[in-house]
Amino acid sequence: MTVAPAPPPSRPLAGALWMLGSGLSFVCVNGIVKYLGPGVPPAEAAFVRYAFGLVLLIPMLPALRAARIGARGHALFALRGLVQAGGVICWFFAMARIPLAEVTAMGYLTPVGVTIGAALVLGEQFALRRALAIVAALVGMLIVLRPGFRELSAGHLAQLTTSVLFAASYLIAKRMTDWAPPAVIVAMMSIWVTVCLAPVAAAVWTPLSAGAAGGLFLVAAFATSGHWCMVKGFQAAPLTVTQPVTFLQLIWATLLGALAFGEPLDPFVILGGAIIMAAVSFITWREAVIRRRMITPPPEALKG
């Protein structure tokens, strides 16, 4: 019997620190986009950000050249690029119009959408505990939005649309993992998002100031840093350690919004965001447990 290699030792503190760095990087992304505001059309801002990001694909060129992508694969990459592009435009629109804390709190709904979509589209099991966690996340969303108690703006609807579109993008990527390596999936997404954003950006193009161009370059750099720190955190510690740390993004976003942009502190947003994040952490933990059971055989399987 072949014994699988032992997993690398867990380093909880390192994992938490990497995720802390990831969260701070993404808050910097949010802050810069918020600072740019509605002065740059959302489609144009998204296009410039991804165009700068194409430079980071240079190390992935060997993997792209070696990949064998058929017509169906290119169609899926194009579909994901179109869906992701729509989500990015909605996100830039929302960032310029609603408080940072609300954007961050509603952004936690994306994993919930992935879980629902995986059950409805990919046929994954939908256990009662996951269903209850999803209900809790939706309750958290209602606490954040408080429909009927205040007026919801186009920015709120845009951010909800962002969560739905990003969830659809992740589900398409999940289907791709059966036949494409991660480097190819990431690179092709960046390429296709840029292609899909180009005609929309051209239709609303306004000249960029040097400051706006520099700010969007920093957005690309911080976004890359955030994803890199996230991967390092996942490598250092299990999701049960790293996932709760992402809730700190809501704290940083709330503080940044209050100190830099004069946004009022909203305890309902903090409460609702905490409920959503707790539900997402539970779903993540359950999926990790199930995946570990599928990989690690039970003791009975080793008796004979």
pLDDT per residue over 289-300, tens digit each?
A: 666 654 434 433
pLDDT per residue over 189-237, tens digit each?
A: 889 999 999 999 999 999 999 999 999 999 988 988 888 888 788 778 7
Q: Nearest Cα to 102, choosing from 279, 262, 257? A: 257
**Is residue 90 in a domain?**
yes
pLDDT per residue over 145-192, tens digit each?
A: 998 888 899 999 999 999 999 999 988 888 887 788 877 887 888 899
Q: Quote the pLDDT of residue 288.
A: 67
pTM: predicted TM-score of the whole model, two decimal places: 0.84
**Is residue 131 in a domain?**
yes
Q: Quote the pLDDT of residue 35.
A: 93
**Is residue 94 in a domain?**
yes
Helix or strand or coil: residue 147?
Answer: strand
Q: Quote the pLDDT of residue 291.
A: 62
**Is residue 1 in a domain?**
no
Tokens representing 125 are 């099991």
Q: Nearest Cα to 168, choosing from 91, 230, 110? A: 110
Domain count, the chain: 1
**Is residue 82 in a domain?**
yes
Range of the domain at 274: 12-297
